[in-house]
Amino acid sequence: MPSIRIPTPLRSYVGGQNEVHVQGLTVAQALDSLTSQHPSLRPHLFSDAGELRAFVNLFLDESNVKDLQGLATPLSEADRLTLIPSIAGG
């Protein structure tokens, strides 16, 4: 079962977990599984139009999925995605 590592700022939306096991054969399905399990996380990842927010980065191993097949990137049972929101400061 694939999993998604959750960064510290978003862990309060997933019950404090640092990793969530998800269902899905693609990144899109994995994110749908994640937000179905933890609906309060959805607005932090997706816009009102249902698009992945620009500042949300997902890595499969060391590759940003945006550089692979995007949300259509296939996943295997043992894959681990890492969720990394961009952080800006001033």
Domain map (residue ranges) of the chain: 3-85
For 44-51, which contacts have Cβ atoms below 8 Å and span 24 or more sequence positions? 44/10, 44/13, 44/85, 45/83
The percent of residues in the chain predicted with pLDDT above 70, rounded, is 96
What pLDDT, on a 0 to 100 scale, did the predictor assign at position 88? 61
Q: What three-state secondary structure class fits 52?
A: strand
Tell me the mean pLDDT in the region 59-87.
Answer: 93
What pLDDT, on a 0 to 100 scale, did the predictor assign at position 54? 87
- Per DSSP, 46 falls in state B
Query: 3-85 belongs to which homologous superfamily?
Result: Beta-grasp domain (3.10.20.30)
What residue ranges in 1-90 does DSSP mark as E strands?
Answer: 3-5, 19-21, 56-60, 63-64, 80-85
Question: 85 pLDDT exceeds 80?
Answer: no
Question: 49 pLDDT exceeds 60?
Answer: yes
pLDDT tens-digit map of 3-45 = 999 999 999 999 999 999 999 999 999 999 999 999 999 999 9
Question: 70 pLDDT exceeds 80?
Answer: yes
